[in-house]
Structure 1
Amino acid sequence: MSNQLPVINLMGPTASGKTALACELYEQGNYELISVDSALVFKDMDIGTAKPSKAEQARYPHHLIDIITPLEVYSAAEFVEDACRLIDDIHSRGKTPILVGGTMLYFKALLEGLASNLPSADYDIRAAIELKGETEGWQAVYDELKAVDSLAGEKFKVSDKQRIIRALEVYKITGRPITQLQAEQPQKQPYRYNFHNYALLPDRVELHKRIEMRLEKMWEIGFLNEVENLMKKYDPDENLPAFRSVGYRQAIDFLKNSDKHQENYQEMCDKALFATRQLAKRQYTWLRSLQELHQFKTFFTIKQAQEDLRNLYG
């Protein structure tokens, strides 16, 4: 539709270089940046989230960074509401918004709409489900889900832990299968935006090297001190999303439950590296599922992305 205003979505796994790419694009035209990252919303969580520095934010201002404390929860629905408001504001100023980040649930919610009749998260229920998975095995949790929601059991695999947790959580809150609730959703009305979707998907071997280098730099510049300060300031509830973020979860466990010897420190670093690689794997999976439903252009190298986007928007 000719009256639809453009919105650039720049997606990619952690450490893929998407933020640097967005900042380069920002310099070339009349743009504003909106962060699409569920960890960057939290204040006082800077190093472990790879948040742009104060100097970088001054040069490349990002909306939706540092908007809540780690004791608060920020939902996908809240993101969509905030993002649409910001997109409209940016368009009203005659600029084009660039949405950049790796939280694919947020992008999915923006592109497809949300299941509005689903309940908010209940962290006590989630913790109980996770405890069962850890003590009885995830097959037992998966079997419990299949008993109450056979359709979800067909859709999910036992390895889909987060999806299984959410489906069981919804059932325990509502007494109804999540698949039934999702089927009752009204058809989403199309947005008035023209989404330009781009995915930065570097080679996994290269991405793993970048992840390892980034984590090493984080430890060097004081990530563990940042987590210690967080614990002193907020007395974290480990069921809250902020403190379950990759890296933070492993650091909190090290600080609370180990004797802090070098062997334990290295184990923490290894666990954080593994968890970050797993996050990247999930992000790849999310991106592929989005690409099946929406028009995308995929870049496999940063150089390719720079050249193509410069030609399109420079």
Structure 2
Amino acid sequence: MPTEPYIQPKHTPNEAPILCIVGPTGAGKTHLAMSLAEYAKSIGLSIELISMDSALVYRGLDIGSAKPTKAEQAAVIHHLIDIIEPTEVYSAARFAKDAKRLCTEIRERGNIPVVVGGTMLYWRAWAYGLSSLPPANPEIRASLDEKGKLIGWPAMHDKLAKIDPETAARLKPNDSQRVQRALEVFEITGKPMSALLADSPSEDGREDSTIPPWINLVSLEPSDRKRLHLNLEKRFDEMLSAGFIDEVKTLRANTGLHADLPAIRSVGYRQAWEFLNGQIDADQMRYKALAATRQLGKRQLTWLRAIEGRKTFDPFNPEELKAALNYCKENFSR
């Protein structure tokens, strides 16, 4: 559905910056946010959490997305969780609009908004805005989908390289979503995406790296990568024990779902889908899911380290984790 371009909010001097807790997957963002909410409650204030996570928006993606538990959601108001079906698509631009609206509404009812998550494309859209690329065109997108299935996405990537070599050079041949978007933009406008993005903050990440004055960014960045990987491995095995494969089996019963949808491309779900398709065995599924999770964490850290002015804390250092909570206590406000 076409949407209006997102406009970056302007900071009002008498408003305190909005606290935003970020970090790679498995860094303990939810735990820190819940601890802060508990503290706020103890002093008579109410925090409402706004999820900045591309998997948590989908209903039915619970175990594999490490969605906050029912108890956690009952203890603290959570937003942007379970808001759409996995057959639908939720964009960064929509998140930016929803987050901006929710921050305003939460403050208007006397509560405190805190944004929590690690989907850095959502962060970029919310913090910096997006360029005015044309909205999606369902007919063109469907046509490109058909061609992609017929000749394969590497061949579609080759087509993109001929009309927009700059964009093609930064995309992987099998990145169907982004290759499709770049081809779609060219078909709609007659211009390469790289040319349209050249002079403005945009979907390709060329935004100002300085944090806007209306956001206070707290970043949990583990120093011990090996320990993080072991934690992620343990978490995935716990997901398997909790019934993750059965969860994906239930999703597969929905005939509207397929492997090219963003929900099913989520880390873990893509690999479980391949396993249930008989494309890989259980050991390969686990190996590929863990590798994809590690790669996601690496990308998130790369994003974060490019942002100037963030407050960083090592969640694996007890003193720093305590300092992170104290900093949040001192810096959350209406």
Q: Could you say which residue in structure 1 is the equivalent of 2:216?
A: 196
Please give the residue correspondences for 1:45-84 in structure 2 after superposition, counting only pairs within 5 Å.
45-84=61-100
1:144 CA drift (Å): 4.8
Can you give the 5+ residue segments of structure 1 that lack an aligned partner in the other structure?
none
Please give the residue correspondences for 1:97-136 in structure 2 after superposition, counting only pairs within 5 Å.
97-120=113-136, 122=141, 125=144
Can you give the 5+ residue segments of structure 2 that lack an aligned partner in the other structure?
1-11
Q: Answer yes or no: is the 8 Å Cα contact 1:127–1:239 preserved in 2.
A: no
Question: So what's the TM-score if we normalise by structure 1?
Answer: 0.84
- Aligned identity (percent) is 44
Cα displacement string for residues 209-238 of structure 1 (whole angstroms, at most 9, x for unaligned residues): 111011000001100000001111344121
* More deviation, 162-171/193-202: 162-171
Please state if 1:10 is matched with 2:31.
no
Q: Answer yes or no: is the 8 Å Cα contact 2:186–2:192 preserved in 1.
A: yes
1:79 CA drift (Å): 0.7
Question: What is the rounded CA distance, in whole Å, between the counterparts of 2:196 and 2:264 in structure 1?
Answer: 29
Q: Answer yes or no: is the 8 Å Cα contact 1:8–1:97 preserved in 2.
A: yes
SS of 1:209's equivalent? Answer: helix
Question: So what's the TM-score if we normalise by structure 2?
Answer: 0.79
Q: Answer yes or no: is the 8 Å Cα contact 2:55–2:266 preserved in 1.
A: yes
Letter in 2 for 1:305: L
Cα displacement string for residues 250-288 of structure 1 (whole angstroms, at most 9, x for unaligned residues): 111111225xxxx81111111111111111122122223
Question: What is the rounded CA distance, in whole Å, between the counterparts of 1:20 and 1:149 in structure 2?
Answer: 43
Q: Could you say which residue in structure 1 is the equivalent of 2:190?
A: 175
Match among 236, 242, 249 for residue 263 of structure 2: 242
**Bigger fraction of residues in helix:** 1
Question: What is the rounded CA distance, in whole Å, between the counterparts of 1:131 and 1:100 in structure 2?
Answer: 40
SS of 2:322's equivalent? Answer: helix
SS of 1:242's equivalent? Answer: coil
Please give the residue correspondences for 1:295-314 in structure 2 after superposition, counting only pairs within 5 Å.
295-302=309-316, 303=318, 304-313=320-329
Letter in 1 for 2:217: N
Match among 140, 147, 155 for residue 162 of structure 2: 147
1:157 CA drift (Å): 7.2
Q: Could you say which residue in structure 2 is the equivalent of 1:275?
A: 292
* More deviation, 117-126/219-228: 117-126
Question: What is the rounded CA distance, in whole Å, between the counterparts of 1:69 and 1:307 in structure 2?
Answer: 38
Q: Answer yes or no: is the 8 Å Cα contact 2:127–2:212 preserved in 1.
A: no
Q: Answer yes or no: is the 8 Å Cα contact 2:18–2:114 preserved in 1.
A: yes
Q: Could you say which residue in structure 1 is the equivalent of 2:9?
A: none
Cα displacement string for residues 4-28 of structure 1 (whole angstroms, at most 9, x for unaligned residues): 3321111111111111111111111
Question: What is the rounded CA distance, in whole Å, between the counterparts of 1:39 and 1:186 in structure 2?
Answer: 24
Please give the residue correspondences for 1:23-62 in structure 2 after superposition, counting only pairs within 5 Å.
23-29=34-40, 30=45, 31-62=47-78
SS of 2:281's equivalent? Answer: helix
Question: What is the rounded CA distance, in whole Å, between the counterparts of 2:291 and 2:194 in structure 1?
Answer: 32
Q: Answer yes or no: is the 8 Å Cα contact 1:126–1:165 preserved in 2.
A: yes
SS of 1:50's equivalent? Answer: coil
Count of residues paired in the alignment? 300
1:67 CA drift (Å): 0.3
Cα displacement string for residues 134-158 of structure 1 (whole angstroms, at most 9, x for unaligned residues): 766xxx93x654432354467x376
* More deviation, 263-272/71-80: 263-272
1:243 CA drift (Å): 1.0
Q: Could you say which residue in structure 1 is the equivalent of 2:107?
A: 91
Cα displacement string for residues 169-195 of structure 1 (whole angstroms, at most 9, x for unaligned residues): 53345331112222465999xx99721
Question: What is the rounded CA distance, in whole Å, between the counterparts of 1:186 and 1:199 in structure 2?
Answer: 22
Question: What is the rounded CA distance, in whole Å, between the counterparts of 1:5 and 1:48 in structure 2?
Answer: 35
Question: What is the rounded CA distance, in whole Å, between the counterparts of 1:247 and 1:131 in structure 2?
Answer: 26
Letter in 2 for 1:298: T
SS of 2:48's equivalent? Answer: strand
Q: Answer yes or no: is the 8 Å Cα contact 2:133–2:185 preserved in 1.
A: no
